[in-house]
Amino acid sequence: MTARSRYAAALRLSLAVACSAVFLPVGPASAQAVSDGPGVVAAGLLIRQLDGVKRVLVIGAHPDDEDTALLTTLARGLGARAAYLSLTRGEGGQNLIGPELGEGLGIVRTGELLAARRLDGAAQYFTRAYDFGFSKNAEETFAHWPRDSLLRDVVWVVRSFRPHVIVSIFGGTPRDGHGQHQVAGLLAPAAFQAAGDPTRFADQLDEGVQPWSPLKLYRRTWRDPEATTLEMQSGTLDPLLGRSHFQVAMDSRSQHRSQDFGMAQQPGPHVTRLRLLDSRVSQLDEGLFAGIDTTLAGLAAELPHELRSLAEPAVTRYRDAVHRAAAELSALDPSASVPALATALTALRELQRAVPEDDGSTFGFTDVIQHRLAVLQRALLAAASITLSARADDDLLVPGQSLQVTLDLWNGGPFRVHPAEPTLDSPGGWQLTEPPAPVGEATSNFGPVGDPSGRTTSGALAPTTMRRWRARLRPAEDAPSSTPYYLHRPRDGDLYRWPAAPELRTLPHAPPLLHAAVEIEIEVGAGPGGPVSVTVSEPVRFRGVDKASGEFWRPVNVVPALSVWLEPGVLVWPSGDAEPRSVTVTLRSDAGGRLEGDFGLELPAGWGADPATVGFSLIGPGATVAYSFRLLPPDEDDAETASARLLIRGVATTSDGQAYGSGVDVIDYPHIDPVPLRVDATVSVLRIPVRVAQRRVGYLMGSGDVGPDAIRQMGLNVEMIEPSAIDASALDRFDVIVLGVRSYEVQPDLVTANEDLLEWVRRGGVLVIQYNKYEFSDGKFAPFLLEIDRPAPRVTDETATITLLDPDAPVFTTPNRITAEDFQGWVQERGLYFPTRWDDRFTPLIETSDAGEAPTRGSLLIAPVGSGAYVYTSLSFFRQFPAGVAGAYRLFANLVSLDPAAWSEYARRTADDRTESR
């Protein structure tokens, strides 16, 4: 494949991404979605994009860093091509709505960015950077992300998207806070300089892109408004949207649900403030595009002379027709603009024929024309009220399984339409077993949908009628599962590995597996405006109906015939405990017929399982069966048990010899498209010296963690508590109650129940509270003073030195002796949102800090309260438990084993010692 043809492939893919961002056929529901179907709103928004050539790239570090008001104003209001480049997918954050962390959370937040882009109209890109967690400076961040590697990715996006203007969210200084923010602020100006230099990352030029020099570089000035040189209004009511661009932007921002970012859609004036940092044009900063020729005529004027003379008349006819279409667009009859749009399409195609695509001197011009053709066809179809629905009869497809696709071409407008035979694009190796064939009598639940004469199989499609086709496909027997393309190979440190296909790089996901298209001719009328041929295409998706919420759509994904899961993923097994422990295997079939075979565990030497194997038989998709296996450890003195971590694998072998050793979890929330994620069927066994006192434990969940399972594995029963059911007397059945992370933020009933909890502590209970955010200290929920500063202290270096302020304190001695060794092997961080001020009745137990910072002592605080004990810890146990960090389990065992009387005596004695020392 030549560099030019590779570029054409990448361009087609980017056009699909860009166009889908402003005109998706279906998608997850949103509170007040921008119209993406036929009619005046969609047509009007698309017509805004047809005149002028404006491209703006916004660069930040994470999902939620983007200025959605700016993106909405650009894409929806000005008709510009806007895009957001997020360095990461947000894998290192916390999850308000579910249990996913790491790569799973990255999938959630990628989906949330796409949900946001569906509203604000921008495109979305990423680099290879994996969000490794909070960092405090750029130097630490670049230690995880080699500078040139990340700059290469940003330059690739700049050269592919070719923005006239780059807007950096951050400035690249400590004022940005997060070290990853600082890196984003440093890379934006570096890419501004490097992207146009053919000697920088020269190998990219062999993969289909060319050097590109953006003309302006801005920085957002939200933290220093006095530095502003340009203000952009986003609070004006948009008559097409019925809301201001700022209101749409807040709807967009509210899609970041995993980050607790629900926003009010406030009416009234609003501005985005920017500072001009660099410019290759001389005009004063009187507007974002001031000094930049954003006209199609200006772009044509840069063509070689012999091409310019051919192109300029077509450009003039095109622009005149676009202006006429905008003037003729009617709210009551959007089809009035169709003749002008048809004239514009004819002129644009003449322009495309006049300028050869393969001429290197026309590189920038031809991609503008191709993108404009795609948008113009969608605008014409929206105004003409012509839609194509492409429905699959299943969303989870097994290799070799047949899939039926139904295509409905609906002519909802006033023009006669002549459709050609539909086409279905599918991956290599797929078979079209039944090509699209017309349905003789297309019907719906509400009666016939063909034309009044009943002729639904051939000829013209009359106004207000529909044509239906059905087809069948079969994926290849070795079709790969639909996992995200950037997860196909293990990461290189904290960088994902790009696929070999350059056209996939930096995209949120690979394009949909299946696309349907129908070429149609619309009888617009006599004269230069018609008839006109247009291709209408849509991705094939599954349509379902929920009895409570109605219609929903899901993408088609390939999954294995059999999925296998082992639980728990981490099994803590106290050393010296010879009693068998159980693991559960779950098998789920997604195949259409019967699956039979055997399942067994691959065990370390000396270990056994009861039973050794089990036979299974599953019939039909969704069939599920679960089995329990008892793990039988070897004698304690066996050398194999000396290892602190052992790995057990589960393998199911079907009767045809196929082996399955992983499961596919579909990450699925109402506001995002579901995405399959492959999970190995393994159990990591931790044989560690951990003991726990017998306690009756209650657990109240926060924003999602594995705390209850961690406590159970240490040998205690755990009862889940609903905050709405809390009353003072009912709590007395517990010795210890543990609150999950951010519980006061996500459990509103807990606020009401807080006094009952404190009263229970006073009667002798032990309350263990894991980290909360500012809502906790603002609400004064602790029994004594406990405050968290803004920004809150945190220790991001997972290897930071830990000092036990009193190694002989009961929490470090009973029942497990805790030492500095228990803090080895921690992941991502020590802790976060540390309290900064507390009452003297709290005893700080741990001192730690990142390099070069003052020590902090707020990570573990304990106070006697009446006859009980109140424990507040900001150590990140929620990250350590699923990572199998032995010391975290041992320390938490001591927290839930805490004897309140012993702690009260310790606190009294240490208080007396402090008094005497004074």
Q: Show the tokens assigned to 741.
A: 């992370």
Can you give the pLDDT at residue 918?
A: 52
Which among 254, 262, 263 has a CA at the least distance from the CA of 112? 254
- Single-letter amino acid code for the residue at 849: S
Can you give the pLDDT at residue 285?
A: 78
* C-alpha to C-alpha distances, 515 to 27, 275, 347, 555, 556, nearest whole angstrom: 15, 43, 27, 11, 11
Least confident of 302-316, 339-353, 439-453: 439-453
For residues 284-293, average pLDDT: 89
Q: What is the pLDDT of residues 195-228, one digit of tens each?
A: 999 999 999 999 989 999 999 999 999 888 999 9
Which among 872, 883, 795 has a CA at the least distance from the CA of 835? 872
- Single-letter amino acid code for the residue at 408: D
Q: What is the pLDDT of residues 15-24, one digit of tens each?
A: 444 444 433 3
Q: Show the tokens assigned to 627.
A: 């089995």
| 378: three-class secondary structure by DSSP | helix
Q: What is the pLDDT of residues 436-495, one digit of tens each?
A: 999 864 433 333 344 433 334 458 999 999 999 999 999 999 999 999 999 999 999 999
* C-alpha to C-alpha distances, 323 to 44, 48, 52, 125, 344, nearest whole angstrom: 12, 10, 11, 32, 10
Can you give the pLDDT at residue 668?
A: 95
- What is the layout of strands, in order, in the sheet containing 736-739? 718-720, 697-700, 736-739, 766-769, 868-873, 860-865, 843-844
Which among 885, 875, 895, 872 has a CA at the least distance from the CA of 811? 895
Can you give the pLDDT at residue 509?
A: 96
Q: What is the pLDDT of residues 364-394, one digit of tens each?
A: 888 899 999 999 999 999 999 999 999 999 9
For residues 900-908, average pLDDT: 96
Percent of residues, the chain, with pLDDT higher than 90: 81
Q: What is the pLDDT of residues 24-74, one digit of tens each?
A: 334 554 445 576 789 999 999 999 999 999 999 999 999 999 999 999 999
Q: In the chain, what is the straight-line distance between the N-terminal and C-terminal CA atoms, in Å?
A: 81
